[in-house]
């Protein structure tokens, strides 16, 4: 307990750093994922090709490699004013968006095709059909996988600690260099991650309950 109490300010800073990194990356990934999923089911071929390329490229690229690209390559391409934190958010959100896209697309595929055909017969555009008919029904299906993906995002954020972003993993590195017991450090860091993941799970369980349809 002394390890935590003696360095509480440092643990608190790392905890909120991980929370901020997860929240921002998750919000951007959700928006990007829905947009890319819309591209993938779009009747416009170039958008479908772009969506397929985005998912294929990012899902098959290691996250650590994306961090190297974000931190080492992008600043040389004119993004040198971005902080390491912003670049970490970019890498995490783009990577996670590819998985969220596929979860959303799977949810869209569970909605009967007749719903979209009925909407078109009423004169609704593709965007209106997707926004007002398809996505509201698909939401119930995609909540569990998206919750799992955001939990994975919280754990993946630890990679940012190796790229000058201060979060929970950075706390462990800093204190282990000062000679603290590494087992106790990993124990407290693991508990902090558990708190974050339990909170995400609780939020999505609440949403699933609220959106559940009586059968």
pTM of the predicted protein model: 0.87
- Residue 111 gets the label, from left (phi > 0), alpha (psi -120 to 50) or beta, of beta
Residue recorded with tokens 């109490």 = 5
For the chain, how far is it from start to end, CA to CA, in angstroms?
49
C-alpha pair distances (Å), 38 with each of 49, 96, 201: 12, 16, 26
What letter does residue 111 receive in the DSSP assignment?
A: S
Q: Which residue has the tokens 């909170």?
A: 199
What is the predicted pLDDT for the residue at 2? 63
Distance, in Å, from the CA atom of 161 to the CA atom of 205, rounded to the nearest integer, reads 29
pLDDT of the chain, 215 residues: tens digit per residue: 665 666 667 778 888 889 999 999 999 999 999 999 999 988 889 999 999 999 999 999 999 999 998 888 888 887 878 888 999 999 999 999 999 999 999 888 888 777 777 877 877 887 888 888 888 888 888 888 999 999 999 989 888 888 878 787 777 777 776 666 777 777 878 888 899 999 999 999 888 887 765 43
| C-alpha 106 chain-centroid distance | 17
């Amino acid at each position: 307990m002394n390890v935590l109490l003696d360095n509480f300010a440092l643990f608190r800073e790392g905890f909120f750093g991980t929370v901020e990194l997860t929240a921002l990356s998750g919000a951007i990934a959700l928006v990007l994922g829905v947009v890319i999923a819309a591209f993938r089911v779009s009747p416009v071929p170039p958008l479908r090709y772009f969506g397929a390329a985005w998912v294929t490229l990012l899902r098959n690229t290691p996250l650590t490699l994306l961090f190297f690209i974000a931190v080492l390559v992008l600043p040389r391409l004119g993004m040198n004013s971005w902080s390491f934190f912003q670049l970490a958010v970019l890498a995490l959100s783009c990577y996670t968006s590819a998985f969220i896209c596929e979860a959303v697309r799977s949810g869209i595929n569970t909605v009967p095709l007749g719903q979209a055909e009925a909407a078109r017969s009423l004169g609704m555009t593709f965007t209106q059909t997707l926004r007002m008919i398809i996505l509201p029904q698909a939401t119930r299906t995609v909540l569990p996988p998206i919750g799992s993906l955001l939990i994975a995002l919280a754990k993946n954020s630890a990679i940012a600690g190796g790229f000058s972003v201060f979060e929970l993993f950075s706390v462990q590195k800093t204190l282990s260099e000062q000679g603290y017991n590494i087992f106790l450090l990993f124990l407290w860091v693991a508990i902090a991650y558990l708190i974050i993941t339990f909170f995400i799970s609780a939020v999505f369980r609440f949403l699933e309950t609220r959106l559940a349809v009586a059968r």
